[in-house]
Amino acid sequence: MAIGDYPAEYNPKVHGPYDPARFYGTPDTPFSQLKLGEVTEWIGRRNKSPSAIAGLFSRAYWRWSHKYVQPKRATIAPLIHIIAGSMLFFYTINYGKIIRERNYKHH
């Protein structure tokens, strides 16, 4: 599977038009339905190859996009998401410099 290809599990004859927000493999138990003891096992079952992780982010992006950006009567929400997200992101990458501005020594 090269870069830009469809996932190996995707079969257009069965699945129809490709939905980039959808996972076409066999679905595992959702993370929200796990018991605490099963979490390590669940993480062990995950495919942790770079392409799988990239696919995870891609699906998340498209799910968010379908939900907030693509609808016909979209609101300002995605813009605020981007602004808030970039605020958090830049705060995180600059965290080492920002903590020099602390006013108190002991917390």
Say which DSSP state 70 is in. S
The upper half-sphere exposure of residue 93, i.e. CA atoms within 13 Å in the direction of its Cβ, equals: 5
Contact letters for another protein, residues 60-99 (x by CB under 8 A): ------xxx-xxxxxxxx--xx-xx--x---x------xx
**Could you tell me the smallest distance in angstroms from the CB atom of residue 55 to another protein?**
18
Query: Looking at beta carbons only, is 55 or 66 nearer to another protein?
Result: 66
CA dihedral 94, 101, 79, 66 (to 10 degrees): 50
Write phi, then psi, for 27 (nearest 5 degrees). -75, 140
Catalog residues that contact another protein under the rule CB under 8 A: 13-17, 19, 21, 66-68, 70-77, 80-81, 83-84, 87, 91, 98-99, 101-104, 107
